[in-house]
Amino acid sequence: MEVPQSPKLLDRVRQAIRFRHLSRKTEKSYLYYIQDFILFHQKRHPREMGVTEVRVYSVALANCSSRSC
């Protein structure tokens, strides 16, 4: 008998957003930035990261927007 897998991170985020009745545009934006954060840190799972990685990503976003990356 197969053990059912728990939902993946993005599926859980999507469920939480829909439970809160947020707009589809908000859902799309949240999912985009979560994926971007993961890719920025070489596909590490967010569970493995902390405040330092969030700060590094935030600074990179701020620098990118000020230079129109």
Q: What is the mean pLDDT of residues 47-62?
A: 96
CA–CA distance, 20 with 69 (Å, rounded to integer) = 33
- Amino acid symbol at 51: V
Quick one: CATH architecture of 9-67?
Answer: Orthogonal Bundle (1.10)
Look at residue 4 in the predicted model and tell me its pLDDT. Answer: 73
Question: pTM for this one?
Answer: 0.82
Residue boundaries of the structural domains of the chain: 9-67
Confidence of residue 33 (pLDDT cuts 50, 70, 90): very high
Nearest partner of 69 among 40, 27, 30, 29, judged by Cα: 40
Look at residue 67 in the predicted model and tell me its pLDDT. Answer: 64
Per-residue exposure over 17-32, b if at least 16 CB sit within 10 Å of its own CB, e if not? beeeeeeeeebeebee
